[in-house]
Structure 1
Amino acid sequence: MIDREQNLRLGDARKLSQMMQGESVPSSGLSKQMAEELLSEDLIWQQVYGSRRKFKLRDANALSIYLAQRYGIQVSLDEWIKVMESGETVSRARQVEVTSRSKAKSTRSFTGFLVKSYQPIETSLYGEPLLINPPQGLSLFIEDFTHFRLADDVTVVGIENGENFQHIEQMRHLFKNIKVLFVSRYPQSSDLRTWLRAISNPYLHFGDFDLAGIHIFLTEFFTHLGLKARFFIPSDIETRLQTGNTLLYNLQYERFKEMKVIDERLKPLVAMIHRYRRIYEQEGYLQNR
């Protein structure tokens, strides 16, 4: 049988399968390691009912991509569970087929990242012109990002949330005066950051307006890109924070209360979040939502 040490645990996989069907699971249902891993990646969030806490999945597609990248799962999670539960009754070849690991070792199933736009964006691939202009409902996956370049007047906008990335046309009002190419942070890897370091275009990070989102920006982007990277702060964010989510602020506070805000431009936003003791999720900026 496949050595499952350091692999995805079956117990965790079963709970994740339930969550992908829209269910909430008790916080005790996931292993501590898995819960911390998914919370840190902002793939799940906690619901609080008195003394009880449950986990809820943010985006099933993002989780599928993450499981492929982190654990090498090459099929649906339910099929992976079925094969792994079969144990010795299934050939080793079949077990290896559904996971990219024949040993307990992390591997990359593919490289690259997703891009999307609601207006024609001039780019080049291998030095040849490439116009990025997918129809609504489609995005492009850039595999060989080392040869992918943008026109000088394009700003790269990184989107944290899957729903926002799927509906970029509902965010035109936020980026009226600039040409933007939207990129997704998932599949979770360093590929996007590596590409951003290699190009001269500015990077604008559009995440949730909370302590966890700011932490992601500071640790994964600002520390590597410097002032070329900027956290997107809409002009009306203070008004929105005043009616934001107190529960999520409280859930994040203990973990991030001592966070060092190394980007001076973010200190007013962090102070604002603490002053109102609320956060605001980026989905709220989707028009017609």
Structure 2
Amino acid sequence: MKITRSLIDKLIALSNGESLPACRLTGEWVNELVRDGILVSSSRGSKRSLKAVDRESFVKALARIDERFADLKKTRNLLMDDGSSGGALRASQAADSGNSKLKMRRSFPGFLVNSYEAIDAQLNGRSCVILPEEGSCVFVSDWERFVIPSDVIVVGIENPENFRFIRQQRYLFESCLPGKQLLFVSRYPQSCDLRNWLMGIGNPYVHFGDYDLAGIRIFITEFHRYLPDRSSYLIPSDVEERLRNGSTERFQGNYYENRHLSSDIPELQALIDLIMKYHKGYDQEGYISF
């Protein structure tokens, strides 16, 4: 991604609560922000616009996408017009960074893993055991050389709090996936590393997200489309009861953008039908049992 003054100005405008024509800000990372409910896309006639739902959430999401977005004003001050469109990031303006040049690469490639049972894995050809102490997890930066046994099920957890407290949800995982070895992964900080790793291994993938239309869309667009034959959504047996007593606001907050959502997975389509039946959603945090 090329960082220009023009791009930073657009992000600053969004962070200040302004609307922006959708055609002026494009890319898969923008689509992710819309799917995650960070940006809302609205239409007026043939024109679409983008607006940040919540400034704090928007700023945090930007920082996860690229560390240079963590302080938009500082990054803008590092930009100078060198004759190119919008101004390119110049080495001579990088004094604040402590580096002669702001690199285009992320400092922390990789993803987080967790487990409540020991999993024998390999990293860079060496054996390692994945079993973090409670209250901690492992960050796998050299993910291209990270190998797990073929019978391990990878469980992607969407919400950071659910990822932190996997032991407090063990009852749920053991009821839905009995007798299986489970490796829990988190896609935050958001990047394609986790998905690329999943595409390179043959293990089954189970997605544990919110029980609303936005959560299901994340699974369909970010994972199932790339892993069509070995990905599924974690659907507990009591999900209908929880939806019946769920949040109407959760449903209404992401209904418009996802109102035509459907799935070729029968179980997932049944979940979509339940959400549409009750007009409610349910946050996955509700399954944490302290």
Q: State the TM-score, normalizing by the size of structure 1.
A: 0.76
One-letter code aligned to 1:206: F
- Conserved in 2, the CA contact under 8 Å of 1:204 and 1:232? yes
State the SS of the aligned residue for 1:225: coil
CA RMSD between the two structures: 3.3
Aligned to 1:162: 160
Aligned to 2:199: 197
How far apart, in 2, do the equivalents of 1:86 and 1:129 lie? 44
One-letter code aligned to 1:239: E
Could you give the per-residue CA deviations for residues 236-276 of structure 1, whole angstroms, max 9, x where no partner exists? 10000001111121222221111232323311100000000
Which residue of the other structure, out of 233, 254, 257, is the alignment partner of 2:256? 254
Q: Percent identity?
A: 38
- Conserved in 1, the CA contact under 8 Å of 2:5 and 2:79? no
Structure 2 gaps, min length 5: 41-51, 81-89
Structure 1 residue 7, shift from structure 2 partner? 3.4
Aligned to 2:35: 40
C-alpha change, 1:82 and 1:127, in structure 2 (3 Å) is closer
Could you give the per-residue CA deviations for residues 214-253 of structure 1, whole angstroms, max 9, x where no partner exists? 1111111111111310100011100000011111212222
Aligned to 1:230: 232
- Conserved in 2, the CA contact under 8 Å of 1:155 and 1:179? yes
Aligned to 1:133: 131
C-alpha change, 1:8 and 1:188, in structure 2 (3 Å) is farther
Task: Report 1:18-37 matches (<5 A).
Answer: 28-29=17-18, 31=20
- Conserved in 2, the CA contact under 8 Å of 1:218 and 1:262? no
Could you give the per-residue CA deviations for residues 26-76 of structure 1, whole angstroms, max 9, x where no partner exists? xx356566897634234579xxxxxxx9627569876532342xxx44xxx
Which residue of the other structure, out of 121, 125, 137, is the alignment partner of 2:119? 121
Aligned to 1:266: 268
Aligned to 1:23: none
- Conserved in 1, the CA contact under 8 Å of 2:116 and 2:131? yes
How far apart, in 2, do the equivalents of 1:180 and 1:42 lie? 29
Aligned to 2:110: 112
